[in-house]
Amino acid sequence: PKGGQESWAYDKIDIRADAFSGSDAAYLKDPELDEFAAKIREGLRTKLSEQMDYVENMDSWEASTLSVVKSIVDGANSQAAIHGTLRMSGIFAQKQQDAAEDG
């Protein structure tokens, strides 16, 4: 850190593929969210694969960044990471009526 300021850098957080299969898995199960996360992942994989066809027209930084992002999205844990991101964003929060019915 410059000037003695505290760093804003974060450590890497690994999301395991079984992140949503622990003892509270029933509470976290959401088939609609699972399906949506899978669609997002497949869309990203398709788009990144298409962009890899043009890597020779990119500068080295762009090509390297694309390669790293593609390898992350291609990883088995990426769907769990997308799932967690959507859940944490509140986009897939339970509706008030559903929450009331669940107790």
Query: What are the residues whose beta carbons fall under 8 Å from the beta carbon of 84, sequence distance 6 or more?
Result: 15, 19
pLDDT digits (tens, 9 = 90+) for 88-103: 887 766 665 554 555 4
Residue 73 · residue 44 · CB < 8 Å = yes
pLDDT digits (tens, 9 = 90+) for 29-59: 778 888 999 999 999 999 999 999 999 999 9
Residue 40 · residue 68 · CB < 8 Å = no
- C-alpha closest to that of 39 among 92, 87, 82, 96: 82
Residue 86 · residue 36 · CB < 8 Å = yes
**Tokens standing for residue 69:** 């992002």
Query: What are the residues whose beta carbons fall under 8 Å from the beta carbon of 81, sequence distance 6 or more?
Result: 15
Model pTM above 0.75: no
